Structure 1
Amino acid sequence: MEEALLLPACNARKDRHLGIRKPKLLLAMKLKRFLLRYYPPGIILEYEQAKILKTKSIDLLDLRPDTDTDAVVDEIANKEPLITSSKTEQVRKLIVRLQEKLGQTDDHHFYLFKVLRAHILPLTNVAFNKSGSSFITGSYDRTCKIWDTASGEELHTLEGHRNVVYAIAFNNPYGDKVATGSFDKTCKLWSSETGKCYHTYRGHTAEIVCLAFNPQSTIVATGSMDTTAKLWDVQTGVEICTLSGHSAEIISLAFNTNGTQIITGSFDHTVSVWDVNTGKRIHTLIGHRAEISSAQFNWDCSLIATGSMDKTCKIWDTSTGRNVGTLRGHDDEVLDVAFDYTGQYLLTASADGTARCYNATTHTMVSKLEGHEGEISKITFNPQGTKILTASSDKTARIWDPETGECRQILEGHTDEIFSCAFNYEGNTIITGSKDNTCRIWR
């Protein structure tokens, strides 16, 4: 969770007394407060420049409970002009708090909290808002529903699509809007608070099967079976641009962390990297020998992972578009890939019923997850990176230890295949969506 920590007013007199001369840049930038980010570990600086409130983040992806705190503080103070000597003690306290969080033991056992008879037809996807206080379900029944996680009560039914609601997303971290992409070729933007439809985005000529908001929540991107992706303005509802260049269906897309780039994965065996501001293609990632199933950035966006029906996962250097590693070993199609929050580990899930955890830098396999009796269509880390969650056609979801590959828990009870699952931000609640028309909350 991001925590706000208010700062005392700058003590200019004390700084002068200590002989600190602030550079001119600093005079134009006034630090207002710190925000603590647990997953991935980091400190966000909120500051004012020319009377405009801005933020910048200090990522601490390598922080461990036993990391030398003083060394980290010194490095931050040397690199970041906003951290003056009067602020280093506060930074030290924040880092200690992050280390305490990272050092907490995680032996949580999940139990079934609620079965939601969510839809009259099978579910397509499930997703949490940032805090995990609510979640959404999409369905073949042409609706998307918003649910309260704590009570399991239905808050809103988003009605209006004329075909399957396949792709769904909250505009995290804000969570006040929901986007739905449908087989009716449209995307709709809704208020998550009232259920009101703000916009219907029209322009695709075939089914929409994937979508995403940029981190700033100013753009929603849609990927379609018509071989194009489109960027839409959240505020005005108008199309910003069309990303054309693929020769087959687009089935996966993702923004990078700062929203400057977007990747699209296609049945044409390639992944494209696009510049969001210009709509121009930066790289085409060529090397897979079959359709792409999933494409993801890691947190610092230095790497892209791609899963393919050719049974492999490839790792690419984002800046050059060069393939830096191919992960082989699965006996069937790779259906999903996922990085952990710090981007140091990479997961692959396959139709062969197994999953694997790799070191994203060395490309060595850390563990192999064996036990499912059907294909694994979805895989994800918990925010802490201490557990792996898988969803399978064998009607179970499973929780695994990433280091050993040992199955910690089997989430049983669904009567048909599970094809969507998610952790909340704290990692203490899970939702699973199934072809049996139900959604289950585990906590």
Structure 2
Amino acid sequence: MCRYGSDHIRCCGNSLLTVKTQVCFVCASHLAEEMRLKRLHIRYYPPGIILEYVKGGELRNKSIDLLDLNLETDIEKLIREIQETEPLITESRTDQMRLLLRTLQDKLAKQDDRRFHQFKALQAHILPLTNVAFNKSGSSFITGSYDRTCRIWDTASGEELHTLEGHRNVVYAIAFNNPYGDKIATGSFDKTCKLWSVETGKCFHTFRGHTAEIVCLAFNPQSSLVATGSMDTTAKLWDVQTGEEVATLMGHAAEVISLAFNTVGDQLVTGSFDHTVALWDVPSGRRLHTLIGHRAEISSVQFNWDCSRILTGSMDKSSRVWDAASGQCVATLSGHEDEVLDVCFDCTGQLIATASADGTAKVFSAATFECIAKLVGHEGEISKVCFNPQGSRVLTASVDKTARLWDVRSGACVQVLLGHTDEIFSCAFNYEGDAIITGSKDNTCRIWR
């Protein structure tokens, strides 16, 4: 089975180390001959090392994930484990690996207790906003609106870079093709999705085929596909290069309201108002599992970083964690008194946050599923929740016209972001966690730094 692909036998059982595209010892010598390491890159969030190498004359990348790296980690032991597992990391790379791992530890040691101040209040659209999103670096962001446009903004200056015009109804779902950030996808109530150039603002393709409103979308990590979810009960996959439809994912009995690719890009999860979640094999378009257990509409779905777990939120007041391989529910996270409107993992997949119409959010351990903190203070439902990249803060957006920052461990509210004059429905951190954007029904988007 082993031939340099995803079916390699895992060589290291230590939970700290996950090498994507694992290698077995039988193949290690062949790999060393066929592959040549060019350089190593550090990845801060989540912690990891990116290997840039040449194989068959082609430049490729793979990652060594270090999701459990902490200040107590024995670096020398970790280097040995990596070298046993990854043939590209030879003895000659030991000093370089030691430097990179210590740099990662130094980054983890920095306390993130910053306070944010309103930098810009942008009268972004003439009608209410629908969503906001950063590119990977956080240098720019986009806003969608009921005014049928999407706009691209420069984060540092607050200046508008482009207005993306062409949709004939509300622009509801928006996304950058991160980590590249050179394309934007917009999904509209006009039943189409459009693909745009970030540099010029020109439309590359219009994806037609849905028979009802598009309400969610996502790029795969390779930026070769766009997935769209629609009120017509289907999801579709589209080819970024050609603009052609690749597959229609049918099987839900009601609207597809949320979807997400895993970090490898070979699986897609869709959540529906039919109370179920479906897991799809992207290359074949085949449904792998139907996740059954929620007793009301699904509101939000997400994979964790290592693709082993799926998190779902539902109008039945609960969230569930599922095993991605088997499709079985491994935990039900309860305690909210009203609908769960949003859920998310932190970037390492070790923490879970849930946001509810009951005006509270909760933080859970993804290992024990115990509630670590209950975030109490909003005076209305919370529609959006997200972690900062460091995993030390939770950001919530509420109909009470405020966004709030919370300490993950204590549950204390550390800051209230004031200024919006109507409900806030969308919020996001940039990659470094030193900027926030909030989008509101008051037609404004605010940058906090």
- State the TM bucket, normalised to the shorter chain: over 0.9
Corresponding position: 1:354 with 2:355: no
CA distance in 2, matches of 1:65, 1:381: 21
Q: Deviation string for 1:31-67 (max 9, x for gaps)? A: 0000110000000101001101111100000000221
Q: 2:210 aligns with which of 204, 213, 234?
A: 204
One-letter amino acid of the counterpart of residue 430, structure 1? I
Q: 2:134 aligns with which of 110, 125, 128?
A: 128
In structure 2, the residue matched to 1:285 is: 291
Q: How many matched pairs?
A: 422
In structure 2, the residue matched to 1:12 is: none
Identical columns (%): 72
Q: Secondary structure at the match of 1:414?
A: coil
* Structure-to-structure mapping, 1:279-318, within 5 angstroms: 279-318=285-324
One-letter amino acid of the counterpart of residue 120, structure 1? I
CA distance in 2, matches of 1:71, 1:376: 44
In structure 2, the residue matched to 1:79 is: 85
Q: Deviation string for 1:96-145 (max 9, x for gaps)? A: 00000010011211000000000000000000000000000000000000
CA distance in 2, matches of 1:328, 1:23: 50
CA distance in 2, matches of 1:432, 1:276: 32
* Structure-to-structure mapping, 1:159-308, within 5 angstroms: 159-308=165-314
One-letter amino acid of the counterpart of residue 67, structure 1? T
One-letter amino acid of the counterpart of residue 50, structure 2? I
One-letter amino acid of the counterpart of residue 229, structure 2? G
In structure 2, the residue matched to 1:119 is: 125
CA distance in 2, matches of 1:80, 1:23: 11
The Cα RMSD (Å) is 0.6
In structure 2, the residue matched to 1:46 is: 52
Q: Secondary structure at the match of 2:94?
A: helix
Q: Secondary structure at the match of 1:23?
A: helix
Corresponding position: 1:151 with 2:157: yes
Q: What is the Cα deviation at residue 24 of structure 1?
A: 3.3
CA distance in 1, matches of 2:194, 2:234: 17
Structure 1 runs of 4+ aligned residues shifted over 2 Å read 22-25
In structure 1, the residue matched to 2:431 is: 425
CA distance in 1, matches of 2:284, 2:35: 30
CA distance in 1, matches of 2:47, 2:363: 21
Q: 2:421 aligns with which of 415, 424, 440?
A: 415
One-letter amino acid of the counterpart of residue 358, structure 1? F
Q: 1:435 aligns with which of 436, 441, 445?
A: 441
CA distance in 2, matches of 1:25, 1:165: 47
In structure 2, the residue matched to 1:340 is: 346
The TM-score normalised by the length of structure 1 is 0.95
Q: Which runs of 5+ in 1 are unaligned?
A: 1-21
Further displaced range: 388-397 or 59-68? 59-68
CA distance in 2, matches of 1:43, 1:404: 31
Q: Deviation string for 1:376-419 (max 9, x for gaps)? A: 00000001101100000000000000000000000001000000
Q: Which runs of 5+ in 2 are unaligned?
A: 1-27
The TM-score normalised by the length of structure 2 is 0.94
Q: Secondary structure at the match of 2:431?
A: coil
Corresponding position: 1:55 with 2:61: yes
In structure 2, the residue matched to 1:365 is: 371
